[in-house]
A and B are shown apart, each in its own frame.
Chain A
Amino acid sequence: MTQSRRLRALVALAVAAALTAACGSSDKPTTAAGGGDLTDLGRRLPAAIAAAHNLDVGSDVAYAPVEFFEEGTQNVMGLDVDICGAVVARFGGGFTCRFMNTTFDGIIPALQAKRFDVIMSALSDTAERQQAIDLVDYFSAGTSILVAKGNPLGIKSLDDLCGRTVGLQKGTTQEDLANTQKTKCQGNGSDLEILTFEKDTDALLALKAGRSVADMNDFPVAAYNAKVSGDGKDFEVVGEQLGAGPYGIGVRKDDVALRDAIHEALVAIIADGTYDRVLAKWDVRQGALTTAAINGG
């Protein structure tokens, strides 16, 4: 009898221990607050963000040179990282941006679920996305077509893709562009097969393997891919940039104070030349905006 009671007590203890272990731990990283006082602009931020001296940024970190991991490390770098840094510098107090990796096709729901404060992920400002979130525009990028080196099929425009297969990342503006083109091809009695992938790197692999004849992505990314993949021997960019539109910093609709503070900071860094220096660093000055609109796409 004592044997069974001891066993039961042991089980109860183990269960209790497991419960506390499961619920007690909180692996929330501590952010160092400090580094002086906030500016007037910084003080207008929502209280929780102002207190943390940190902006949590959701991003699909697999889109060099806009956002990517430094090779072989977990350090996030790129155009978006530097623009975010320049924006929060306007808030004072040693303010930081913490980039948090996420998947692109789920990035807007994740923002709405408050997984982070804002999203910066080479996110095009479109009317459709404006239904769900507000976008503060900070860059302009069109789509480039990427093909195998030497362009064996002589592709120069979207119309040349009719009757062929194109591979691209799921949920991107390029997917919309390809779908529109598909309808156009079908109108001409042809077709366009579209392969969509989780990541742009998967689309690149499909192109390299000959599964598709072209990949479409934003011009800075296409240029980077052509330069880096196979030491520049795999791909080349063809034709003109298509349908240039702004990238926006995504903010929740009810986060008006945060949206306005980011907008004001962007206007300031464009005016004082910081913005231009960041774009020059990543060799993408042709995408510069002269004004930072809200929902301007």
Chain B
Amino acid sequence: MDAGTQPPAVAASDIRPVPVRHFGRWVSAAVILGLVAWLASAAAASGAVDGSVVRHFLFNHSILEGVRNTLVIAVAAQAAGIALGVGFAVMRLAVNPVLRVTSWVYVWLFRGTPVLVQLILWFSLPLVFEFMAIKLPFVDVYLYRARMVDFMTPFKAAFLGLALNEGAYMAEIVRAGIISVDEGQVDAAKALGMHPALTLRRIVLPQAMRVIIPPTGNEFISMLKTSSLASVVLYGELLRRTQDVYSTNLRTLDLLVVASIWYLALTSVASSGQYFLERRFARGSARDVPETLLARVRRNVTTIRR
């Protein structure tokens, strides 16, 4: 064999690895950034939104109270919605046909009508019932008695409307979670002598959580925004407070930008919260827990490619 035809041996140190160049990424990023900059500058040039007005009202006391009220109503309504959802989902899967039908009717009614209509109906309840009272049976003793207009405050009307509507959606989400748990798990629990309530609490719900958590986080983010509908029943949430300002100074667009900035801030915080919840409940099923945003940033920064 002729030794001269053999390729020359290459030392490993001579290989210079070159990462794959992603020219497409650079071009698309440039095009998108350019478009965004063009739109932003065109909108700014029109002068429709005055940045100084936006800055002035961003931390206005009344607006900040609105942000707080939005958080209060969203958290309260979502918490109540989750409780209702778990209750009605369990009822829906019960053996008792009365419970099953009750749950079905609840979901049908509250998921089937617009939440805006429900809010207005709750707020108008004083037209139907003049008094709200809790009376001990057989004796003339009232534990609580008030005119309905005093009882059904904007907060309560908003809370009832949002929570009952949310409960119907949560019931379906929880039901989907429960039926996603393998039936063999229930059989095994039975074989170990657990009764149904304990099985639900110890075996089914913890495994169902993995399926329930992502859409629930989604529901909460949605609730933060849907709570703006409570402005029609005069609850002083973010949008209402914004309207109160622009009805006086007539700077409608500037104030709507203020509201949007706060809604974005709230939903951004909620999204990151959901991410960590998902990480926690992914334990035991996912092989690798997804890394956090911070960890990803750190990795990308410390391993810059040429």
Contacts and interface: CB of A to CB of B under 8 A. Distances in A.
Interface stretch (B97-105, B171-179, B180-188, B241-249): B241-249
B195 A4 contact: yes
Contact of B149 (A24, A103, A114, A201): A114
Contacts of A113: 124, 126-127, 149
A61 B243 CA distance: 10
Interface in B183-215: 195, 197-198, 201
State which size class the interface on B falls in: 35 or more
What does DSSP make chain B's interface, helix, strand, loop or mixed? helix
B127 A69 contact: no
B126 A70 contact: no
A132 interface: no
B198 to A, nearest CB: 6
Nearest to B147: A114
Interface stretch (A39-47, A71-79, A261-269, A275-283): A71-79
Contacts of A68: 247-248
A240 to B, nearest CB: 24
A183 interface: no
A71 B144 contact: no
State which size class the interface on A falls in: 35 or more
B61 interface: yes
B62 interface: yes
B117 interface: no
Given A72-B62, A74-B244, A201-B243, A3 B198 contact: yes
Contacts of B198: 3-4
Contacts of A291: none
**Residue picked from B57, B134, B234, B244, most chain A C-beta under 10 Å:** B244
A133 to B, nearest CB: 15
A210 interface: no
A8 to B, nearest CB: 8
8 contacts: A7-B197, A61-B244, A62-B244, A64-B247, A109-B124, A199-B243, A205-B252, A234-B250
Given A69-B248, A199-B247, 11 more contacts: A4-B198, A63-B247, A64-B248, A69-B244, A72-B62, A74-B62, A109-B127, A113-B126, A199-B243, A201-B246, A205-B252
Task: State the 7 A-B residue pairs at the shortest beta-carbon distance, nearest first.
Answer: A62-B247, A229-B250, A113-B126, A68-B248, A69-B244, A115-B149, A72-B60
Interface of B: 57, 60-63, 124, 126-127, 130, 134, 143-144, 146-147, 149-151, 153, 155, 195, 197-198, 201, 232, 234, 236, 243-250, 252
